[in-house]
Structure 1
Amino acid sequence: MPVSRGPEPLERSLTADQVAWRCPAEWLPFETTAELGDCASAYDQPKAVDAVRLAASLRARGYNVYVAGLPGTGRTSTVRRVLQEVRKKGPVPDDLCYVHNFADPRSPRALRLPAGAGRRLRAALDAAIERFQHGLLALRGSQTHRKRRQMIARRFQQQQSRIIKDFQTEVEKEGFALVEVNLGNFRRHELAPVVGGEPVSMGELDGKVHEGVIPAEEAERLRRRHPELAARLSRETAKLQALGRELERAVAEFDRQAAVPAIKEIVGGIREAVGLEEGERPGLDRFLADVENYLLEIFPVLYAQGEAVRTQPGEGTPFSPLDVLRVNLLVDRAEEDGRPLVEEVDPTAPRLCGVVEARRTPEGGLQAGLSSIRPGALHRADGGYLVLNARELLSEEGAWPALRRSMLTNSVTPVSGNASEGPPVLLPEPIPIDVTVVLVGTVGTHDLLHSGDEEFSKLFKVTALFDDRVPLTAEMVYSYACFLARVVKEEDLLPISRDGVARIMEYMVRLADSRHRLSTRFREMLDLAREATWFARERGVGRVEMQDVERALRARRERQGLLSGRIQDAIREGVLKLDLEGTAVGQVNALAVVQTKLERLGYPVRITATVAVGDEGVIDVEREADLSGEIHTKASLILAGYLRSQFARRLPLSVTASICFEQSYGGVEGDSASSAELAALLSALSNQPLRQDLAVTGAVDQHGNVLAVGGINEKIEGFWRACRERGFRGRPGVIIPSSCVAYLQLSPEVVDDIAAGKFRIHPVDSVAELMGLLAGIPFGAPDENGTWPAGSLGDRVSRRLSQMAETLRQFS
């Protein structure tokens, strides 16, 4: 398309002071951050902070908090700060213990005790085991007790002796003898016929008959009598066994009664050491009663064994009956002050709920005891607060269901550490808990959980929304400086000068996309301070200056600017065709923004328009090629609406127009180029050349108002780079919506060129102002009859459309 010179435009441009905010020196009353002591570094997120404080203080069922916001905006650090303040005002919660379940050993019993009492219970039970052993040994060494046991035993033994003697007399009359047979630790009596004065077995009778030692008739008599006497022997043996059992019970009861005072004293000592009266904690009362009964039950057994009792379980050693008195102090609160605050960075199901760590035995099986139970974050946070990252939680298989189950039941049960190897070997009782969960994530993750889990809104009744921007005030800038100073000291960075801090604050304004806001992306701010420190140390100086911050920003752009570099190369080499001087009909430089994970950049794109007689209206080439997004499609329809409202009051639109983003091969979305599209279309209809040293951005409505768009700073800087590459020919600049002026925070290089008159920013409110700048002639406005001022750009468009309508009428 031929390019020609046009008339000088009528223009209104912004000054350098209007395109960027500069931090006033009086807002930073220090030379370097080293002068800032313990000043307040609060973040002004009052609504979010109040929401967290509400849930933390209320502690009602379901009042857990989802903290929503962008990463790096201080969500977690602010939550941590608020909870630290609140937790110190609350009471210290209970200790959590697991103790042996005497009724069901596979299901250890949960026990809650006042803070510090768990530690005392554990020590008291360890001492009780020692006292029990000493009492056992003392009783075993008592001569008096031993003589009384012997008297009880002698009474039963005398009864047994009489039974044996009477039966032995009877069988001797029948020609039999009562023989005692030893089978190791077991003894029994048998009947043996007496032949020749010696007892023989029943199988030897025939041989004795052949030998003539005993007559056949006598042998036959013995055979007939043996079954009856053997039956009598079984009955007498049962009597002996019953007496033996009675003896064991009598001796055991004697031993038990002898131990009652000592055991009651031991259990009383446990209660006294714990410091809780009976009735204060029913769970402890039941456990101590079970301990007393158990000790009374095992005392006679251990006394009868007559050997030392092992009290320190070890690998490969036999189990001691006293091991069940050990306490697994799951959570010890003895040293805590206030409610606990737990932040779990690896929220797997075992780390949240605790785990039973079974070990493999030499035989290949699994074994777990009371000490195998390990606490989880929910145990440690009981009575306080648990902070979790939503993204990390959802990335761990089974973690969200485990947390959800605990929150719904207000209890937690340790999971099996060997779940894939079969049924759990230990099933601990659930422990009731009272935890306020604070889940930190993005708004998108919140919406995902809310739509995917019907219980989510019941579990998280409070949402704390963290804004990514805060008001720009002197107080807030000073608090940011205090925050910087604290991190500089903590991380041993170089002190930052006033000018350096000012440049960092200006960068935070740029991130906020508004001259009236500061970004809360603190991670970006701190990274910039760290990188600037590196450059300052490279210079060999003792503090960070503005030039170091600028070098850090420039280095960051160079590291991350692969795409922008390629676009600049394409402009420089002429691959991307752009006219940056002179005028052209039906052609405008628009501005686009592309966002990658590394950078957000703006660049110019050429928009062209052609018109012809017809009735198809405005054809958007991107839309026809399925490269247009929904918003861009809407914007192209608005253009047709604008033409109808301005130029089709008396005649129908009889035009077929085509609008195209030249050399654009990807999708196009958004309405920020609609003002440029309209300008190209009006130029084509009026045959009026437009300035090519200007670029245009802005949306339009059907009434011709130019509306605000996003990415304004990146768009301006993209065109500025292209113009700088060509040497600032003509009077280059960018036309923007007036409503975007408040969002300008241009880089220092662009501001310097604006101050030098090399580059310009023109704010406009209407299509009329826009076209006046581009075309260099007044656009005009129609009167009540739809008539435009003679010679105006609007008049040229109107006349052209009238001619097209007449031509179409003649050919139809």
Structure 2
Amino acid sequence: MLTYKNTSEIEPLESILGQKRAIDAMEIGLKIDNPAYNIYLAGESGTGKTTYAIKALKKYASQKSAHKDWCYVYNFEHPREPSVIGLEKGLGKVFKKDIEKLIETLLDELKDTFESEDFEIGKNQLIDDYEIQKDALLKKIKKYGEEKGFKLKNSKVGMVFIPIKSEDKDDDDSYEDSEEFYKVKRELENMAIQVVYKIRDVEDAAKEALLELEEEVAKFVIDPYIQSLTEKYEEYDKVKIYLNNMKKNILEYVYLFYMDEDELKDKYDKDHFLKYKVNLFVDNDSDKNNSTAPIIVEMNPNPSNLFGKAEYDYYNGNVKTDFTKLIPGAVHKANGGYLVLYVDQLLRYGLSWDILKRTIQSRKISVDTQTSIKPESIPIDMKVILIGNNYTYNLLYNYDPDFNKYFKIFVDFDDEMDKNECNEEGIARFIALQCNRNNLKHFTYNAVKEVIKLSTKITGDNYKLSTQFNKILEIVVEGDAYATIRGVEYVDKEDIKKAIDERRKRLSRIESKIDESLEKGFTLMETQGRRVGVINGLSVLNMGEYSFGRPSRITVTTSPGSKGIVNIEREVNMSGPIHNKGVLILGGYISENFAQEFPLSINAYICFEQNYGGVDGDSATGAEVYALISSISKIPLKQNIAATGSMNQKGEIQVVGGIVEKVEGFYSTCKRKGLTGNQGVIIPRNNSRNLVLSDEVNEAIENGEFKIYEIDRIEEALEILTDMKFEQIKKITTEKLREFSNIQNKIKE
């Protein structure tokens, strides 16, 4: 390790430690620009995978700048299908302000223009021309009617002609009844109908002329502004189309621009001007460093958070929405960059997972509004990084046929690294980094060495260091707290030991209860003497983040019979499949080594005494076969030696897990019942590198107070447990099994 007095003298660690394979995989995954090469990042919690992923993404994000701003606007051609416009990052906000300013300006200038004297004069001129033509038509028919003796009069039903009575004629009544009278009247009525139609034509022409005048005047006001914006956004065809369609719509509804506000509310849709708004859907200018591609970490990936949604208004029980109420999701925000998701959270929402895969495949995304509006899809260009564990990766790989299509890069973070000078220095530098970052006291050289010992213990391998830096950081923080309590400047070795011991105490309630049961004799356990068919096996109990080992008393009874080896735990459904397999292996070993000349005829019952929580695993098969042979041969086994180790049918001892907890657990039991100097544990020889024991146990071993017996085969363990040669044990056991076979044969006869 580096030579230093405390960690303030060394350079803090800024890189990821012990993950070269994972780093190489991540690098190639980020370099491949292909929509199928998304990344699944796996590893145990606390290995730094998320921290590294964000750091790596920031590096590559700084090299990308193709992300855009996205705006939803009103579709004047298809109102139920809002259009989307992509703009250079930072330009979306400008475009939104430009359109807002345009509408505000037009509202003011059009109102002023249509209320101006010049417009009123032009408008009145058109109306006067209409009135002149109308009067001319009415005068003409009126004059003609008078010439024919009829007077034109307006009534509720329109224009009617009534005869003009002459005072100097007495035959008026007879004239009104004459055929000529009716002929003239019909002629005048037909002429009146024609005049009415002509007046309507004149009115229509006048209205058309007024509209043309309004449009001409409006164009005069609008065109310069539209033209200016068209030139400003010359590179964006969709903006030019939008501005052109907006202009047509404004001209069509130009009267709304100069109408009084109260009148507008009373007679027209109050949301008419909503169509001229811009929904700045994704604004990449909101981030100060907008030259960097977005990195979005979505912690709650439900469909709305991932793929956006539409907000709603309620009017008299009816749901209403529009393009201005469209809200982006994480996918929209990550467009052009990177989307980071935690797979355990993602798979809580099956719909999110399905839509995500479709999005990756189609490379486009819209907003599901669940209403009548259908927003235009946005093209998607992003890389998805899923963070999870190996178990979930295997499930997805094996049971989801689409998974491997879209997540071709597997980044596997290891939970351990080689124990060498480079990595030990890395841990020291990691501590220096955390002290600086979290304002902690710096660590002395000896304190760092103690943390490294803890790191090795976490792995359970003397040649490895843990990469679960969250566990290391916890001890670093707690060590600082105890150094503060002592009032010293630096964290020292005793503070780390204190932190480790206190953490163990906080989590060891169940362990203490079991120890109390042993001391009071409630749990039967012997650590001295010899017993036939009884042995102390070793097991590990897991209590969340804390695990500890304790001996388990295994007993075996045998007699002549044909049932074979009976696993009592299995019979009552308290045994797992791996333990069941282990018990069956015993029969294979016994048959091959002790029953080659006669049929194996035995009833053997194996039981874990005082076991109320079930049992699984095969690490007790070695202990079980020792007790089985002891029961058959009646050769007693030492109770001061516990045994652990998995076995195969050939009698070879295989490595087991939790070896540290098992050894320390039996040592703790012997200590409570009284150390005699001849107590110890039989373990597989290949587990020797895993003996990262506590200082107390190591000291007891060095002083000869506790022993570790390393073996490769069953025969070695039997000799240790009985002080007899295996050939002698085998002879006695074989003869006993022969007796069992003879008895069984007599019973059959």
Do the two structures share a fold, i.e. TM-score over 0.5? yes
Is residue 326 from structure 1 mapped to residue 281 from structure 2 by the alignment?
A: no
Is residue 283 from structure 1 mapped to residue 238 from structure 2 by the alignment?
A: yes
The residue aligned with 1:657 is 604
Deviation of 1:664 (Å):
2.2
Q: In the aligned structure 1, how far is the partner of 2:54 from the partner of 2:174?
A: 105
Q: Which deviations, in whole Å up to 9, do the C-alpha atoms of 1:254-306 show, x marking residues without a partner?
A: 343344455333223113434xx3xx43322322322333344444x357x46
**Which of these residues, 303, 317, 334, is aligned with residue 381 of structure 1?**
334
Identity, % of aligned positions: 29
Deviation of 1:408 (Å):
3.4
The residue aligned with 1:766 is 713
Say if 2:149 and 2:163, in contact at 8 Å, map to a contact too: no
**Which of these residues, 68, 92, 107, is aligned with residue 118 of structure 1?**
92
Say if 1:133 and 1:309, in contact at 8 Å, map to a contact too: no
Q: In the aligned structure 1, how far is the partner of 2:451 from the partner of 2:174?
A: 126
Q: In the aligned structure 2, how far is the partner of 1:598 from the partner of 1:634?
A: 28
Q: Which moved more, 1:697-706 or 1:34-43?
A: 34-43
Q: In the aligned structure 2, how far is the partner of 1:100 from the partner of 1:801?
A: 92
Is residue 239 from structure 1 mapped to residue 198 from structure 2 by the alignment?
A: yes
Is residue 65 from structure 1 mapped to residue 28 from structure 2 by the alignment?
A: no
Is residue 525 from structure 1 mapped to residue 484 from structure 2 by the alignment?
A: no
Say if 1:41 and 1:483, in contact at 8 Å, map to a contact too: no
Say if 1:149 and 1:251, in contact at 8 Å, map to a contact too: yes
Higher relative contact order (CA 8 A, sep 6+): 1
The residue aligned with 1:794 is 730
The residue aligned with 2:346 is 393
Q: In the aligned structure 2, how far is the partner of 1:227 from the partner of 1:446?
A: 96
Q: Which amino acid aligns with 1:550?
A: K
Q: In the aligned structure 2, how far is the partner of 1:522 from the partner of 1:369?
A: 49
Is residue 445 from structure 1 mapped to residue 392 from structure 2 by the alignment?
A: yes
Deviation of 1:136 (Å):
2.7
Residue 495 of structure 1 aligns to a residue in which SS? coil
Residue 245 of structure 1 aligns to a residue in which SS? helix
Deviation of 1:511 (Å):
2.2
Q: In the aligned structure 1, how far is the partner of 2:693 from the partner of 2:700?
A: 11
Deviation of 1:193 (Å):
5.4
Q: In the aligned structure 2, how far is the partner of 1:479 from the partner of 1:239?
A: 99
The residue aligned with 2:638 is 691
Structure 1: tracts of 5 or more residues without a match: 1-26, 182-187, 198-213, 781-791
Q: Which moved more, 1:797-806 or 1:430-439?
A: 797-806
Q: In the aligned structure 2, how far is the partner of 1:567 from the partner of 1:159?
A: 114
Is residue 294 from structure 1 mapped to residue 249 from structure 2 by the alignment?
A: yes
Q: Which amino acid aligns with 2:38?
A: N
Residue 726 of structure 2 aligns to a residue in which SS? coil
Say if 1:177 and 1:194, in contact at 8 Å, map to a contact too: no
The residue aligned with 2:617 is 670
Q: In the aligned structure 2, how far is the partner of 1:298 from the partner of 1:750?
A: 91
Say if 1:355 and 1:415, in contact at 8 Å, map to a contact too: yes
Q: In the aligned structure 1, how far is the partner of 2:194 from the partner of 2:696?
A: 115
Q: In the aligned structure 2, how far is the partner of 1:684 from the partner of 1:570?
A: 27
Deviation of 1:712 (Å):
0.8
Residue 118 of structure 1 aligns to a residue in which SS? helix
The residue aligned with 2:414 is 467
The residue aligned with 1:47 is 21
Q: In the aligned structure 2, how far is the partner of 1:51 from the partner of 1:411?
A: 27
Q: Which amino acid aligns with 1:54?
A: I
Deviation of 1:674 (Å):
0.9
Change (3 A) 1:652 1:320: closer
Residue 387 of structure 2 aligns to a residue in which SS? strand
Q: Which amino acid aligns with 2:586?
A: L
Residue 651 of structure 2 aligns to a residue in which SS? coil
Change (3 A) 1:796 1:409: same
Matches within 5 A, 1:403-422: 403-416=356-369
Is residue 725 from structure 1 mapped to residue 664 from structure 2 by the alignment?
A: no
Q: Which deviations, in whole Å up to 9, do the C-alpha atoms of 1:630-673 show, x marking residues without a partner?
A: 22222222222212222233344344433322222342221111
Q: In the aligned structure 2, how far is the partner of 1:752 from the partner of 1:522?
A: 28
Change (3 A) 1:232 1:344: farther
Deviation of 1:68 (Å):
2.4
**Which of these residues, 31, 35, 44, is aligned with residue 5 of structure 2?**
31
Deviation of 1:151 (Å):
4.2
Deviation of 1:749 (Å):
2.7
Deviation of 1:215 (Å):
7.0
Change (3 A) 1:216 1:748: farther
Q: Which deviations, in whole Å up to 9, do the C-alpha atoms of 1:36-67 show, x marking residues without a partner?
A: 44433313323333333333322312222222
Is residue 358 from structure 1 mapped to residue 294 from structure 2 by the alignment?
A: no
**Which of these residues, 179, 196, 212, is aligned with residue 253 of structure 1?**
212
Q: In the aligned structure 1, how far is the partner of 2:196 from the partner of 2:299?
A: 71
Q: In the aligned structure 1, how far is the partner of 2:200 from the partner of 2:700?
A: 114
Deviation of 1:449 (Å):
4.1
Q: Which amino acid aligns with 1:106?
A: R
Q: In the aligned structure 2, how far is the partner of 1:725 from the partner of 1:125?
A: 83
Q: Which amino acid aligns with 1:673?
A: A
Q: Which moved more, 1:38-47 or 1:802-811?
A: 802-811
Change (3 A) 1:267 1:732: same
Q: Which amino acid aligns with 2:89?
A: A
Q: In the aligned structure 1, how far is the partner of 2:230 from the partner of 2:693?
A: 74
Change (3 A) 1:320 1:691: closer
Change (3 A) 1:337 1:805: same
Say if 1:356 and 1:372, in contact at 8 Å, map to a contact too: yes
Deviation of 1:589 (Å):
0.7
Q: In the aligned structure 2, how far is the partner of 1:295 from the partner of 1:648?
A: 102
Q: In the aligned structure 2, how far is the partner of 1:194 from the partner of 1:727?
A: 143
**Which of these residues, 66, 72, 90, is aligned with residue 64 of structure 2?**
90
Cα RMSD, aligned residues only = 3.5
Q: Which amino acid aligns with 1:777?
A: M
The residue aligned with 2:298 is 344
Q: Which deviations, in whole Å up to 9, do the C-alpha atoms of 1:158-202 show, x marking residues without a partner?
A: 322222323344555564444388xxxxxx9554858999xxxxx
**Which of these residues, 623, 631, 651, is aligned with residue 578 of structure 2?**
631
Change (3 A) 1:138 1:668: closer
Q: Which deviations, in whole Å up to 9, do the C-alpha atoms of 1:589-625 show, x marking residues without a partner?
A: 1111222335322211112223334454433333344
Q: In the aligned structure 1, how far is the partner of 2:414 from the partner of 2:586?
A: 35
| Equivalenced residues, count | 738
Q: Which deviations, in whole Å up to 9, do the C-alpha atoms of 1:297-318 show, x marking residues without a partner?
A: 444x357x465899xx99x997
Deviation of 1:675 (Å):
0.8
Deviation of 1:566 (Å):
2.1
Change (3 A) 1:483 1:153: farther
Say if 2:43 and 2:388, in contact at 8 Å, map to a contact too: yes
Q: Which moved more, 1:349-358 or 1:398-407?
A: 398-407
The residue aligned with 2:515 is 568
The residue aligned with 1:108 is 82
Say if 1:49 and 1:82, in contact at 8 Å, map to a contact too: no
Is residue 488 from structure 1 mapped to residue 447 from structure 2 by the alignment?
A: no
Change (3 A) 1:618 1:298: closer
Deviation of 1:402 (Å):
3.8
Q: In the aligned structure 1, how far is the partner of 2:698 from the partner of 2:427?
A: 25
Q: In the aligned structure 2, how far is the partner of 1:91 from the partner of 1:680?
A: 71
Q: In the aligned structure 2, how far is the partner of 1:491 from the partner of 1:229?
A: 105
The residue aligned with 1:273 is 232
Residue 347 of structure 2 aligns to a residue in which SS? helix
Residue 589 of structure 1 aligns to a residue in which SS? strand
Residue 554 of structure 2 aligns to a residue in which SS? strand
Say if 2:535 and 2:639, in contact at 8 Å, map to a contact too: yes
Change (3 A) 1:298 1:804: closer
Q: Which amino acid aligns with 1:523?
A: N
